[in-house]
Amino acid sequence: MGIIWERANEALDVNPPAGDSHLNVNGSNWLWAVTAVYLVSFFVFFALSIRPRYGERIFHYLFATALLVGAIVYYAQASDLAWRVISQSNNILTNGPTRQVFWAKYVHWAVAFPVVIIVLGLLSGVSWASILYNVVLAWIWVVTYLVSALTTTNYKWGFFAFGTLAWLVLAFGTFTDGRSSANRVGVSRDFIFIAAWLNTLWLLYVIAFAISDGSNRIGVVGMFVWFGILDILLIPGTAFVTVVLSKRWDYGRLNLQFTQSGRVHSDGLTNKHHPATATSGVGHP
């Protein structure tokens, strides 16, 4: 047992970091812990997908995908992989002129942000065009932040401004079109709660980026602690909140049946899973 407990984290010996501001052993240990959270959450969601409510697996599919991608990304970061050393235009003496920028976390966000946007769109009942529009806005936000992080001059703040503008448009859409649509299907309270939760977290992402990969005011380890907490709250947290709240949603009214019985008409599925909504009468199919 002593050998197990004394086993050291050798990831940084195998994959040594670089740059003045870089990952250390404590930071790697934290990233391994976040990897474990994502993996455990993935297996829990996989188990829950075996017998989902009304046989519908759409939320399980979405969150399981984000959880698996998150586990892979955090594994790469904990192993000190998927990064570049970038010269910083805003040199803070405590962090130094060069920084280890992990591009892997932006890959995670490119999957995670659209997943929660699709969940929010399905809940509110907005059109697929609106959902696609919001997903594209999220991709613009993530890509411009990645370009900003890799830019070595103060022109990085132009990309930061464009990305933040994309988030503001996204946030505005979730609280206007989404709320009015959620009212029509009777889930406005849960929709407002989840939308407020997501946009609060997204605001903290903006702030965290500005003082980490943006201005180099906090080091790589401090950045990972901040983003690790936000990522856990965003994906595993939102996933389990969604599962709990979904117990009181009417899937037939939300028109969410499209994974349990193949390509069939929603009315037939509504009658199958919600007998109270079925029309009684002789000869009714």
Domain count, the chain: 1
Show the domain range for 53: 18-259
- Domain membership of residue 148 (yes or no) is yes
Angle, CA of 9, 70 and 248, to the nearest 5°: 130
Indicate whether 285 belongs to any domain: no
The pair of structure tokens assigned to 152 is 């070595």
Residue 274 domain flag: no
Amino acid at the residue 20: D
- Quick check: is 13 in a domain? no
3-state helix, strand, coil in the chain (%, to 5): 70, 5, 25
Domain assignment present for 205: yes
Q: What is the pLDDT along the chain (285 residues), one digit of tens a residue?
A: 444 444 578 898 999 998 888 999 999 999 999 999 999 999 998 888 777 665 568 888 899 999 999 999 999 999 999 999 998 876 554 566 889 999 999 999 999 999 999 999 888 888 889 999 999 999 999 999 999 999 999 999 999 999 999 999 999 988 887 777 777 777 788 888 999 999 999 999 999 999 999 998 999 999 999 999 999 999 999 999 998 888 887 777 777 765 555 544 545 444 444 444 444 344 443
Structure tokens at 252: 């037939």
Query: Does the residue 283 lie in any domain?
Result: no
The answer to the question of residue 269 being in a domain is no
Whether 275 is in a domain gets the answer: no
CATH number at residue 199: 1.20.1070.10
Full-model pTM? 0.85
